[in-house]
Structure 1
Amino acid sequence: MLRPSPAPAPALRSVLAALGSPTAVREARTPALRAAQGPLSPEHPLPVHILGVAGAPGHAPRTRLAGWRFLIRSGDRAIAAADTMLTLDGWSFSHFFEGPYVAATERALLQAEALPGAYQPRLLSVPQLYMLTLWLHAEPEEDVTAAPPAADLMVPLAPAPPGIAAHRAYRVADLLPVLRTRLAPPPLLGWAASA
């Protein structure tokens, strides 16, 4: 069962304003959004966290909240998404987009609903790997701003990096070491030979 966090009201208002703006929709690089007939509605707000690799070696990567994402529904399916970001004036609309992560997010949310237990859904972006996962936080009452706890689950969205299966629920304790290895800086070659 999913227990989503409510999106900040200003974030939702900014997306609704953008959807109501013919200019914002027309200028978006989302043909599906521009061609949509009938009402559009922002649904499934998800906080978007970025997994950072900065820090001392041997320490877990940290996350930071970067925005909120809304799936934009037309009829019976999501056709696009809208991102918001935190500015000096609060939460503001950032942009519309479409692509494989829209359908993959919708699919992962349906998969997560069938899992036993209660989870708070979030998105976790790993920019260095061009990877996006549905992060299922196992303690919805507890806010996490550091690394995802070991008991949480991650469902990589398609397309996932080579060697990581998309739409499979991984325990953080199993997937995070793989990500940490891939994110580690390469060893400096040539220094020992030239010294």
Structure 2
Amino acid sequence: MLRPSPAPAPALRSVLAALGSPSAVREPRTPALRAAQGPLSPELPLPVHVLGLSTASGAPGAAAATEQQPPGTRLAGWRFLIRNGDRAIAAGDTMLTPDGWSFSHFFEGPYVTATERALIQAEALATPYQPRLLSVPELYMLTLWLHTDTEADGATTEPGPDDLLVPLAPAPPGIAADRPYRLADLLPVIGLRLAPPPLLGSPAPA
């Protein structure tokens, strides 16, 4: 059961304007959007949070951060799935500028399909969740973040102890896509992937 947080109204308006006036935005439409027949609708806004390198890699205080607010997590934007008929064919991203929320770009590809699939699976869960996205740029990794506080502002970065992360395909090697992990269980795994290699000549960790 999903209870999305409402997106800022200016963010939605910017995506609607980009869909309605393609020539008014710098970024061109994707091939799927250009070929689409019928109306295009931006739906299910998801706040996109970015996990910083220092948070996941075991920097001082990072262990405690998995149970509290990760110091390296920040809101990067809002993403809207662009639906044509009965499926999402692309996504539209917005970003916060000095003048407020503005359209950023359209894109398509496997993460659009994987996001829609993960949302459908999460909708069938008995526990209510607030859907978000959590990105780990250093690993080219994107997850669906299922937040247990369904009344929270989607812009807040503080996770709950029972929050889930669902890695979206394609996921990094060794991390299964399309299955839920407890946030506190997956963050250490991400941290190991992001940890810098030992210095030449230094002993390997026990």
Tell whether the structures are fold-level matches, with TM greater than 0.5. Answer: yes
1:191 CA drift (Å) = 6.4
- Paired residues for 1:1-195 under 5 Å: 1-23=1-23, 28=28, 30-54=30-54, 56-59=59-62, 60=65, 61=70, 62-143=72-153, 144-146=156-158, 148-190=159-201
How many angstroms apart in 2 are the aligned matches of 1:27 and 1:182? 33
The DSSP-based 3-state class of the residue aligned with 2:174 is coil
How many angstroms apart in 1 are the aligned matches of 2:146 and 2:195? 24
- In structure 1, list runs of 5 or more residues that go unmatched: none
How many pairs are equivalent? Answer: 191
The DSSP-based 3-state class of the residue aligned with 1:105 is helix
What is the identity, as a one-letter code, of the residue corresponding to 2:180?
A: A
Identity value in percent? 81
CA RMSD of aligned residues (A): 1.9
How many angstroms apart in 2 are the aligned matches of 1:10 and 1:68? 11
What is the identity, as a one-letter code, of the residue corresponding to 2:193?
A: R
1:22 CA drift (Å) = 3.1
1:187 CA drift (Å) = 1.7
How many angstroms apart in 1 are the aligned matches of 2:35 and 2:17? 18
Deviation digits for residues 24-69 of structure 1 (CA, Å, limit 9, x no counterpart): 6895251101111111000010000000123633514531000000
How many angstroms apart in 1 are the aligned matches of 2:39 and 2:81? 14
Contact 1:28 1:97 in 2 (8 A): no
How many angstroms apart in 1 are the aligned matches of 2:99 and 2:133? 24
Contact 1:45 1:70 in 2 (8 A): yes
Scaled by the length of structure 1, the TM-score of the pair is 0.91
The DSSP-based 3-state class of the residue aligned with 1:54 is helix
- In structure 2, list runs of 5 or more residues that go unmatched: none
Larger RCO (CA within 8 A; separation ≥ 6): 2
Scaled by the length of structure 2, the TM-score of the pair is 0.86
Which has the larger displacement, 177-186 or 83-92? 177-186
How many angstroms apart in 2 are the aligned matches of 1:15 and 1:66? 16
1:151 CA drift (Å) = 1.1
1:81 CA drift (Å) = 0.3
